[in-house]
A = this chain, B = another copy of it.
Amino acid sequence: MLSDKFSFKLLKETGSARLGKINTHRGNIDTPAFMPVGTQATVKSVFIEDLMATGSQIILSNTYHLMIRPGVERIKRVGGLHNFMKCKLPILTDSGGFQIMSLSKLVQINEDEGAIFNSHIDGKKFILSPEQSIKIQKDINSDIIMVLDECPKMTKNKKVVSESINLSAKWAKRSKREFGENPKKALFGIVQGGIFDDLRIESLENLKKIGFDGYAIGGLAVGETQEQMFKVLDGITNHMPKNKPRYLMGVGTPSDILGAVKRGVDMFDCVMPTRSGRTGLAFTWDGRLNLKNAKYQKDDTPINNKTQLRDLNMYSKSYINHLITSNEILASMILTLNNIIFYQELMLKIRESIKNNTFNDFYNKYYNII
């Protein structure tokens, strides 16, 4: 039965890999979990009811994008993002920190005021303080709210990163204060610190002192190698509270996810299954297929998706290749759905393998294939 209160239960550990369950008043989330990305109040090219049928239990959306377009007022007016986009699943919203760094123009960071930036759409000026980000996420009616962090570009300059985690810690404290008491909702802190193990730990300890419902690892998937990313995880996850969910932001490929689960991560989000679906890439258990490739013109076999959903496996590679070549929207519709289904099957199999003590076998079997 669903409790109104947000909570996390750690069910099992195999090595560092963890099986768990998040309770929200909108539904449970089995972890390790993958969150499809619905940046602009839609998971691109998927009907919301098809998304629910993929096994997705939560989606992610973006404060930065929503505040710029359509603007928070239109979402707040109908009671939040679930109503606006007709999503019955829990929603996690990113705070805007990452997009301000990666997308917007002329960013100035001011400790008191927050981030001052110009929209990447029309150049309009916005100011986002930690308090404002939390307020917006409450207006969006997000179920899992992220603190506003300063998210510097990948750098080897330790001083820059150190100053950044200090600022982020102050902002995290203000975010927590603004969040207040909201047992139905969760507030997650975001560990920064770049590729510096000691700064990562310092950042985490700052957050643990404040106390959050979950801990995210930010500032990865920004251009570092998988090896560097895994090294960061090796250095930090053992220090993270066991009884709280751990969320690796913006990650990743199937092998990234396998490696991060092995290192104790519970939650993931990434545009990879959706974005690559719009560029002709199909994830399968035999590896990725680039269906734009001319060789598929001669291949009348399906992409071997086992799902019954929308009978996706009835379409031949030759047909999908034709749809891509002809710029047909249906190509994006078929491949996006295929890829989300693949990701959710991956998460299901990961969870089953942890349960059955076969996670290492599963990892070894698929790490180099998918």
Contact = CB atoms under 8 A, between A and B. Distances in A.
A322 B71 CA distance: 10
Interface residues of A, number: 35
A69 B300 CA distance: 16
A311 B49 CA distance: 9
Contact of A333 (B86, B300, B333): B333
B44 A333 contact: no
- Top 10 A-B residue pairs of the complex, sorted by shortest distance between their CB atoms: A45-B329, A70-B322, A42-B330, A40-B326, A86-B314, A42-B328, A78-B300, A74-B318, A84-B319, A329-B329
A5 interface: no
Contacts of A158: none
Contacts of A44: 328-330
A167 to B, nearest CB: 31
Interface string A6-40: 00000000000000000000000000000000001
A148 interface: no
A85 interface: yes
Interface in A277-329: 297, 300, 310-311, 314-316, 318-319, 321-323, 325-326, 328-329
A70 B329 contact: no
Q: Is chain A's binding surface mostly helix, strand, loop or mixed?
A: helix
A223 to B, nearest CB: 27
Contacts of A325: 69-70
A201 interface: no
Given A44-B330, A45-B333, A47-B310, A315 B86 contact: yes
27 contacts: A40-B326, A40-B328, A41-B319, A42-B323, A42-B328, A42-B330, A44-B330, A45-B330, A45-B333, A49-B310, A49-B311, A69-B322, A69-B325, A69-B326, A70-B318, A70-B321, A70-B322, A74-B318, A78-B300, A78-B316, A84-B318, A84-B319, A84-B322, A86-B315, A329-B329, A329-B333, A333-B333
Nearest to A77: B300
Contacts of A249: none
A323 B315 CA distance: 28
A170 to B, nearest CB: 34
